[in-house]
Structure 1
Amino acid sequence: MIDRESYTPVHQQVADILRARIDQGELAPGEKLASEGRLAQEFEVGRDTIRDAIAVLRAEGRIVTERRVGSWVREPRQLVPVDVVGPARVTAHIPSPEERRRLGVGQGVAVLRVEREGQEPMLLAGDRAVLVIPGA
């Protein structure tokens, strides 16, 4: 499973395998991942490698982690259509910790900022907002 001769870092290979298990439904939404120790044994790597792989998946928003409890496959988010009417400027950025809490986004998930003249900017979670542009 792990190719130690590969130029791909081992933690990335582990993350790729776990991501494939999630995508194929082998690890279902809400399901708890095996412990770091058990995953380290399965992949024959150190716990630091497992922690790094889990950090990759957490940054992608695929799993959530609770300290001293474990990690779970994240429930899929419902997409929310947002109409962008009239001239607007849309930018994306990595949110501040306060923006992450307010919008409920995982680490590494981008935030979309929609600015319209004369209006307060609107912040949207990049993992569930769908911008609908009339005529597009």
Structure 2
Amino acid sequence: MSIDRESYIPVHQQVAAILRQRIESGELRPGQKMPSETQVSQEFGIGRDTARDAFGVLRAEGLIETEKRVGSTVRVPPPVEPVDVPGPARITFRLPSPEERRRLPVGQGAVVVVIEREGEAPVLLASDRTELVIPR
């Protein structure tokens, strides 16, 4: 795949889409080191800032994790745990606060699930590790 410089889609978004496809197809596997920003910029003929922006998109989507001085790796999906949600309950989703991100912990790009029931304290869960089960 190549990027289309005439497209209305920003170049960093196009590069992110190509890398995303490589992850989803299994060409880049969970736990595998991603190519460096320099390698991506050379492959696509783009600047390192554009490559960095593409990696930022994938990080925000929760597809990769980046560690300073180590680089980026394809994120290993955490195990998903089913959580029973008997009604009546109100379920919302939102971005976590920095403290909630540390406490839960919530993966990069993931939101928190907030389950509220009358008379009870809200329950916060990491969306990337939770499957809501609502009984019939």
Distance, in Å, in 2 between the alignment partners of 1:41 and 1:86 is 54
TM-score by length of 2: 0.95
Number of the residue aligned with 1:111: 112
Deviations 1:22-48 (A, max 9, x none): 000000111001111111101110000
Number of the residue aligned with 1:83: 84
- Runs of 4 or more, structure 1, over 6 Å off, are none
- The aligned runs of 1:31-42 (5 Å cut-off) are 31-42=32-43
Amino acid at match of 2:95: I
Deviations 1:80-131 (A, max 9, x none): 1110113111111011111111222233311110011222211111122111
Number of the residue aligned with 1:97: 98
Structure 1 portions without partners, runs of 5+: none
Number of the residue aligned with 2:131: 130
RMSD across aligned positions (CA) = 1.0
Amino acid at match of 2:75: R
8 A contact 1:63–1:74 mirrored in 2: yes
Structure 2 portions without partners, runs of 5+: none
Percent identical: 66
Number of the residue aligned with 1:9: 10
Amino acid at match of 1:64: E
Amino acid at match of 2:36: S
